Amino acid sequence: KYLVPLAKGEKLGAFGLTEENAGSDAGGTETTAVLDGDHYILNGEKIFITNGGEADIYIVFAVTTPDIGTRGISAFIVEKGWEGFSFGKHYDKMGIRSSVTAELIFNEVKVPKENLLGKEGDGFKIAMSTLDGGRIGIAAQALGIAQGAYENALEYSKERIQFGKPICQNQIIAFKLADMATKLRAARMLIYSAAELKENHEHYSMEAAMAKQYASDVCLEIVNDALQIFGGSGYLKGMEVERAYRDAKICTIYEGTNEIQRVVIAASIIGKMPKNEQVVKGAQRGPITGYRKKVIFKDGSADEKVSSLVEALKKEGYDFTVAIPMNTSISKADRVVSAGQGIGEKANMSLIEDLAAAVGGTVGCSRPVAETLKYLPIDRYVGMSGQKFNGNLYIACGISGAGQHLKGIKDATTIVAVNINPNAKIFKNADYGIVGDVNEILPLLTAALDNGEPKKEAPPMKKMKRAIPKKVTPTWKHYVCNGCGYEYDPGLGDAEGEIAPGTLFENIPEEWTCPACGEEKSMFIEI
């Protein structure tokens, strides 16, 4: 059903592993798949997916058993066009611009049970074995980019005359070319070696990592030297060496960063050492914006949800009879209403402006709205590399919740989100939210906040108190190994021993042993 059309080239495939909190650490996967009868219900988002939106068939990785790290990840075959499966916009990348890269968005997607690859929990192994093979391909890609840059530079150096002779006859240029040729040959041998092992069905994880890491590292060095040989002309758009310079960098990042390749290589040559201290895996990641109330209004009519939100904000102490100047900078604003790509057409920006006026604040936006859609000037973009919002009330409209945006609003006193996708990450980072269409919710919210009277000038901003979590004192008992002093903490469990966080000591299987020294469970004493 799937392999034949993929092999024939009749259909295109894609690999959906990376997430906002699961880049190099796949254990941070937050996309979930819950079995419901004959289907798994898939919810979550994937980012930086090659062929996203163009492919017909997707291998998607999701958590089927939470709280056990990578052992709880499973793999699924998902088809384009299934209800609830949508795509974000094409990323505007520095290089490899002919390759489509986009987000995958899953909202209550029903995946037939038979589309589970292998067994539940096999996903991480499937992903890693796929990446092993892919790393050889990326190494070959890096080699091709570097080879092309080298050949162009070599040809140019023979033709470019300076000081009465070809520049290749200058020793500094000749030595650059010699080093480039040597690096290319070494990279090629590493790639061929890994490919031969794979072809012969031998273990090749380490060799693939070596090939990918080395080939992509020297690719950067070679294209840098090639561009230097071209001088100013190589810096111009349209030159092949300029494109190679932009395309080279991604080879050190995708299919596993080069830092991770070194981890793989080191683990292969060192092997597994005896455990001498507790390693906490699969630790729970908190919201990027810190503790938030997460009061999300999902049920009821649009009017009812808006009414509940307005009531909650007024209880927080927000006065909507006052306003700051609309041209106030983001960093100095008390209140900001921001637009994301979910706002749709540019004409809908009037909804944002109207709500900002009703709230008594100013207007902001996500990075794509400013840089790609150009709905607002770049100085209204809120995010890690844009403007930081340090005021009180931030209302995110149609913003999904990318990490770089959330880092720009983490100091807000109150975050409100309006998004049609109930699984949007922004809700996990918000104090209040409404699940609904922004085009329906925003006019209602504007009307609810507008009392028909002109706004008074707001007093100087005073930072309001932010919600803080209630401290909960654990009631469980702690036990210490009588052999080495290792303390078992039920709050952490023992990931390597497959003991989930929250497991009381008395509920641990009797065959469990101390993760530090190997003593039996019976050797532990209560403290």
Catalytic residues: 255
> By the 8 A CB rule, do 400 and 424 touch?
yes
The dihedrals phi and psi of 57, each to the nearest 5 degrees, come to: -130, 135
- Residue 317's Cβ-count burial label (10 Å; 0-12, 13-18, 19+) is exposed
CA angle (253, 18, 290) in 5-degree steps:
105
Cα(378)–Cα(395) distance, integer angstroms:
19
In sequence order, the 6+-apart residues with CB closer than 8 A to the CB of 117 are 59, 74, 75, 76, 77, 123, 126
Cα(116)–Cα(391) distance, integer angstroms:
46
Q: Between helices 171-199 and 205-230, what is the axis angle to 10°? A: 160
In this structure, what token pair is assigned to residue 188?
């090629």
Strands 161-162 and 73-79: unpaired
In this structure, what token pair is assigned to residue 206?
């380490």
Q: What is the dihedral of CA 114, 78, 253, 378, to 10 degrees?
A: -150
In order, the DSSP letters of 490-512 are TTT-BTTTTB-TT--GGGS-TT-
The dihedrals phi and psi of 382, each to the nearest 5 degrees, come to: -105, 130
